[in-house]
Amino acid sequence: GQSLEQPSEVTAVEGAIVQINCTYQTSGFYGLSWYQQHDGGAPTFLSYNALDGLEETGRFSSFLSRSDSYGYLLLQELQMKDSASYFCAVRGVVDGGYQKVTFGTGTKLQVIP
């Protein structure tokens, strides 16, 4: 099966940098995604890594190491509006040969002044 681990809560100061880690287990790995969800809102896509290395999109970056089954989301210049839950999600192959995406349990980020 597929499984992921990420911290349940992280607190960081406005303007600082925070890293949210994610380790995963899957067969037939295709990639690791990150989603943001504000309270009461729908998850929205942030990034996707299929290959090792760092992908940068504005203040957000995502890193993947396939050999370590590990990735992280890096948020720079934190703003109050970044307070949200962040989910990593792994895409792999399951029985029957279908690709499936499994989400982690989410990391609740609180940004404080």
Partner 1 sequence: DVKVTQSSRYLVKRTGEKVFLECVQDMDHENMFWYRQDPGLGLRLIYFSYDVKMKEKGDIPEGYSVSREKKERFSLILESASTNQTSMYLCASSLSVGNTEAFFGQGTRLTVV
Task: Please report, as ranges, the residues that interact with partner 1 according to CB under 8 A.
Answer: 1, 8, 31, 33, 35, 41-45, 48, 50, 87, 91, 96, 98-106
Q: For partner 1, give the closer residue by CB, 10 or 43.
A: 43
CB of 97: closest distance to partner 1 in angstroms?
A: 11
Contacts of 101 by beta carbon, 8 Å cutoff, 6+ apart: 33, 89, 90, 91
CB 87 within 8 A of CB 7: no
Handedness of CA 57, 21, 31, 5 (dihedral sign): negative
Q: Quote the least distance from Cβ 75 to partner 1, whole Å.
A: 19
Q: Are 61 and 76 in contact (CB under 8 A)?
A: yes
Is 4 or 17 the residue whose CB approaches partner 1 more closely? Answer: 4
Shortest distance, position 13 Cβ to partner 1, whole Å? 25
Edge-to-edge strand list for the sheet holding 18-25: 3-5, 18-25, 70-75, 60-65, 53-57
Cβ closest to partner 1, residue 72 vs residue 87: 87
Residue 62 CB, shortest distance to partner 1, in Å, is 12
6 or 12: whose CB is closer to partner 1?
Answer: 6
Amino acid at site 17: I
